Structure 1
Amino acid sequence: MTPPVIADLRSDTVTTPTPAMREAMAQAPVGDDVYGEDPTVNALQAEVARLTGHEAGLFMPSGSMTNQVAIALHTRRGEEVICAEGSHIYEWELGMMATFSGVVPRFVPAPLGVPAPDDVRAAIRRSIHQSPTGMISLENTHNKAGGTVIAPEVLHQIRAVATGEGLPLHLDGARVYNAAVALGAELREITGMFDTVSVCLSKGLGAPVGSVLTGSAAAMKQAHRYRKMMGGGMRQAGVLAAAALVALQEGPARLAGDHRRARVLAEALVNAGFSVNLAAVQTNIVYATVPDAAGRAATWAERGVLTNALGPQSVRFVLHHQIDDEALDRAIRVLTA
């Protein structure tokens, strides 16, 4: 018999739609989005573009698709994509940049997920004997580094590098709202300097499905073609966009609570003898060093707490709005027993 779940800490993607989202989904006016005729999708795209400081947006099923469409937009085959070590576009997007766009990554060091502008500049390649640089991609927050944040001043410095070198700059903003809340900044302060931005709506914000890629109107027109090539035309997608619009309204105010609970969890794990880099616990993600991570995760699951073993000795915990203080207290008792 499967035990009742006390807390699902595997990811912030596991949340279910709120009552307001379900109501909006039921009432959403729809049309064929492949033809650009879904009014709810169009409203979502316009709203996310406004919030990020861009001209236009394009709704897609996932953040992996928005990232890969951006890479296709900005590069030519045989080029390199400069990205921070551990970037999602390489680690968890299944080699798609090579498969679809014919490009390869060039990594730069990123302590706590933050690459130094000088290292980004040094990674740029112009030689006829090397693959030329096609674009620069950043991730904010940086998932694998622990949900860490890149401050606006660093982003501006890297923007200056990109501009000086004539290179496009993309942001994987899967959890960019978490970054904005952690920094106490408006979203466009973080996103407005990028040529394209991927905003995931199904992570911290809690929508059931979808991400939006934003950029210039011309870029989004071309992105529509790449989305179609990848099978991302969703037809009457307004039922999903309606939930995402609610997530934009409901979600940001809840993120500070997720961040607070992540810190509580991290400190409880440290007090129980696990190793956690507390400097990396800046938003809603906690990584802990756990001997026999898979075995320990299986034991915790048997006791009702679901986690993600991401390596032989690494377990990830992600806080979200459906883990309240009571659920977290119960989970900590299981995790530290």
Structure 2
Amino acid sequence: MEINLISDTVTKPTPGMLDAMMKAEVGDDVFKNDPTVNRLEAKVAELFGMEAALFFPSGSMTNQTAIKLHTQPGEQLICDKYAHVYNYEGGGASFNSGVSCKLIDGNRGMMTASMVEAGINPPDFYHSPLTSLVCIENTTNKGGGACWDFNELGKIRKVCESNNLKYHLDGARLWNAMVAKKETPKQYGQLFDSISVCLSKGLGCPVGSVLVGSEKLIHDAIRVRKILGGGMRQAGFLAAAGVYALDHHVDRLADDHQKAREIGAVLSKLDFIKKVEPIETNIIIFQLDEAVMSADRFLKKLEENKILIIGMGQGKLRIVTHMDYTNEMHKTFLDLLQHLD
């Protein structure tokens, strides 16, 4: 039995999801004639209380499309130094939109409103890039699945309004944050100009993300998606998985969070573990005491027992729980950790 805890993207569709996919009514989505894609987009837009939504192949493409629509070449966006749009999207902000990133030294991927305000370049000082966008990531991947304080997000919104900045949310794991903090999509829809949400992480879909925003933003996003190569044809087979996941897989994210906390509790008691970051959702980031056990040795021992996790560099390791990580796997993994030497 292999236990894959590299990411929550490794899941396979459930029997119910596969059945929904196989029965999907489809058309050509490039012509906006796929009824199941249209249904998914309307469903997500309604959830967030926003005007429209657009289905994409990936979360990176949704984020890159939003950045392109909110900025002009030569401008600058503000994000935390851990932000996915800066660290894990292949330099897309500069390649696709010609913008630079001003990195804020926040806490576990989260910055305060005062930090954002201090990072804004004076708009009349033409020697520096014009600040035009603030990007938030919730939960923070590199920050260990940390959830933003919603009040702080509201304060940042006011900073954006006062300085004529657009406000984008990379919500790849926003479903996890909302379950953990008991928040609603409509709360987020009232704050942000655009939101991207992923269906292929905690919700267990094989592929897909959705961009949500105003009618005009989504109308313009169709063109950018086409330019980036994101137009798909009978995409309803994939969209059906998204509809099914939203109906059946959101509340169960609490199970992943509980398993993550239990793993963290075991790790924190082991003498070769130096630090475990606070655990709020389904991501555990921890550091080894390399004087006792090296990262390579630890990863090899796990691999010998058919358990896969990921190294993040700089001595950090990551475990991500997900819907295919069963109770049996969980017991096996916890037992192994407690007897590892």
Normalising by structure 1, what TM-score? 0.96
What is the Cα deviation at residue 322 of structure 1?
Answer: 1.5
Q: Distance in 2 between matches of 1:295 and 1:93?
A: 30
Q: Distance in 1 between matches of 2:11 and 2:295?
A: 24
Give secondary structure in 1 for the equivalent of 2:275: coil
Residue in structure 1 matching 2:299, options 297, 300, 307: 297
Contact 1:293 1:312 (C-alpha < 8 Å) held by counterparts: no
Contact 2:93 2:100 (C-alpha < 8 Å) held by counterparts: yes
Residue in structure 1 matching 2:266, options 261, 265, 268: 268
In the other structure, the counterpart of 2:100 is: 104
1:42 paired with 2:44, answer no
What is the Cα deviation at residue 312 of structure 1?
Answer: 4.5
In the other structure, the counterpart of 1:287 is: 285
Q: Distance in 2 between matches of 1:256 and 1:166?
A: 37
In the other structure, the counterpart of 1:204 is: 202
Superposition pairs for residues 242-253 of structure 1, below 5 Å? 242-253=240-251
What is the Cα deviation at residue 86 of structure 1?
Answer: 0.5
Q: Percent identity?
A: 43
The count of residues paired between Structure 1 and Structure 2 equals 332
Unmatched runs of 5 consecutive residues or more in structure 1: none
1:222 paired with 2:224, answer no
Deviations 1:162-198 (A, max 9, x none): 1111111000000001111111111221343100000
In the other structure, the counterpart of 1:54 is: 50
In the other structure, the counterpart of 2:71 is: 75
In the other structure, the counterpart of 2:17 is: 21
| Greater share of residues in helix | 1
What is the Cα deviation at residue 50 of structure 1?
Answer: 1.1
1:136 paired with 2:138, answer no
Q: Distance in 2 between matches of 1:164 and 1:319?
A: 40
What is the Cα deviation at residue 71 of structure 1?
Answer: 0.3
1:92 paired with 2:88, answer yes
**Structure 1 residues 105 and 295: CA distance shift in structure 2, 3 A:** farther
Report which stretch shifted further, 111-120 or 219-228: 111-120
What is the Cα deviation at residue 107 of structure 1?
Answer: 1.0
**Structure 1 residues 207 and 118: CA distance shift in structure 2, 3 A:** same
What is the Cα deviation at residue 294 of structure 1?
Answer: 4.0
What is the Cα deviation at residue 25 of structure 1?
Answer: 0.7
Contact 1:151 1:183 (C-alpha < 8 Å) held by counterparts: no
Superposition pairs for residues 183-194 of structure 1, below 5 Å? 183-194=181-192
In the other structure, the counterpart of 1:12 is: 8
Poorly superposed stretches of 4+, deviation over 4 Å: none
